[in-house]
Structure 1
Amino acid sequence: MLIQSVFAAAREVFSPALRRILWKSVGLTLALLALVWLGLTKLLDIFLTNHDLSASYPILDSFAFFLAGFGLFVALIYLLPAVSAIVAGYFLDDVAEVVESKDYPVDPPGRALPFGQALLYGIRFAGLSLLVNFAALFLLFIPGINIAAFFVANAYLLGREYFELAAGRFWSAEEVARLRHEHRGTVLAAGAVLAGLVLVPVLNLLVPIFGATMMVHLHKRLTRGRAAIPSGREGQASLQNR
């Protein structure tokens, strides 16, 4: 199921139907990373100015510019999972509607998540991802452990995030959690695919749209033949009547 979903996403991510969403996603991701870069350079400038280090040690100015550039590279790797969470939450419904209508036309369409709920999903996972990756950053200079910790943590976080976003269009929050636990091995493996992409320059910019497409396919395959439980109060009532 996972391999089929990966290949399906790889075929569709550059398709005409998703291309416009893809470029918007890449643009938003780059804009957010640019803000991180500007923030880093500003903080460095404030630090050097307040401590009057530039006048005493002019070489620090050059070092600051180098560090800012290196900071962008580090941000691209360590902050991209968090950025991906926000971007994916914003574009998930657009991607899901395209995939569902094209590949599953006879199935009932999913319900678009309310904007506030989708944004909350993204912010929640972004915050958690920042905490986890900040902890992983401390392991940066420990060979072997740093990459392993980064990979495992983000495999879990990305798998969980994207699955909940895709499944949330069809199921109540309780059912989403149950499905994720029931298929936790497959969801973790899907997250590992995304965590691997995060480590590849340029390709990591495709993670939000590729991940959303892949997880829509995976959710469909994992829940084939099941009747979806609506979210919200209807879903709560359905669960209570079981």
Structure 2
Amino acid sequence: MIFSDFIKAVGQLSDRRFLGVLGLGLGLTVTLLAAFYAAFVILIGWLLPDSFSLPWFGEITWIDNALTIAGIPLMLLLSIFLMVPVASAFTGIFLDRIADAVEAQHYPHLPPARHIGFVEGLGDGLKFLGVIIGVNLVALVAYIAMPPLAPALFWIVNGILLGREYAQMVALRRRDAVGAAQFRNAHKVTIFAAGVLMAVPLTIPVVNLLVPVLGAATFTHLYHRLNAHPSRTG
């Protein structure tokens, strides 16, 4: 059933409202990745001299050129780690637009939702962003200590975090804070599974750029499906 929610979200990618948000999200993401890459190059430039000599190798002058050539691959690698906080921040800022588009097409009978204001959404997004960064920094120790298990650990940790964030934000459009918490608690397993479904493509460069939009849409479908059938868990 979760996959049906995801397929519906993918099927609406051509919606002009999705495309508008996707364009904004792509611009935000690429700008962020470019800023991190620029900061990385500047840091390396400060730490390493323009040229230096090594025994047997002579003078080394190719560091700057190597960083320039490696720019795109490096940004793609960075995107694996940066797209988790980007997806979280994106949810707080743009979720209303995506959820409105999904509900207009698939659930037109519903009354208007409570819109999460920009300031409220940004504040919630930034608070949860801190949680995501903190948890992933702690988890980084486990990734390094157990490299073969790193992908699975990444999916599990961020599946929990993203599932909670998406479910909370979607539920708050239709319920108060207590009701949103009750919704999350009643469907923990389903929300976790859907969160992992969002976390897995985050590790695929380029594809991960679509995840924030697809995540917001998928969880909107998931919320309405579970709300219509509260006794079902997936």
TM-score range, shorter chain: 0.7 to 0.9
Whole-angstrom distance in 2 between the partners of 1:188 and 1:172: 21
* Mapped contact 1:37–1:71 kept (Cα < 8 A): yes
Map Cα deviations across residues 64-106 of structure 1 (whole Å, 9 max, x no partner).
5577666423321111110111122211111111111221111
Deviation at 1:217, TM superposition (A): 0.7
* Mapped contact 1:79–1:133 kept (Cα < 8 A): no
Alignment of 1:202 with 2:202, yes or no, is no
Aligned residues: 223
Aligned pairs for 1:38-53 within 5 A = 38-48=38-48, 52=49
SS of the equivalent of 1:107 reads coil
Choose which of 222, 236, 242 in structure 1 pairs with 2:226: 222
Deviation at 1:58, TM superposition (A): 3.4
RMSD: 2.3
Q: Flag the 1:165–1:24 CA change in 2: closer, same or farther, 3 A.
A: same
Aligned pairs for 1:181-192 within 5 A = 181-192=185-196
Bigger shift: residues 76-85 or 64-73: 64-73
Map Cα deviations across residues 10-59 of structure 1 (whole Å, 9 max, x no partner).
111222342222222222211122122122222222222xxx47445535
Aligned pairs for 1:164-175 within 5 A = 164-175=168-179
Q: Structure 1-normalised TM-score?
A: 0.83
Alignment of 1:96 with 2:99, yes or no, is yes
* Mapped contact 1:8–1:214 kept (Cα < 8 A): yes
| Percent identity over paired residues | 32
SS of the equivalent of 1:79 reads helix
Q: Flag the 1:16–1:114 CA change in 2: closer, same or farther, 3 A.
A: closer
Q: What's the counterpart of residue 155 of structure 1?
A: 159
Segments of 5+ residues of structure 1 without an aligned counterpart are 227-242
Q: Structure 2-normalised TM-score?
A: 0.85
Q: Flag the 1:40–1:46 CA change in 2: closer, same or farther, 3 A.
A: same
SS of the equivalent of 1:14 reads coil
Q: What's the counterpart of residue 8 of structure 2?
A: 8
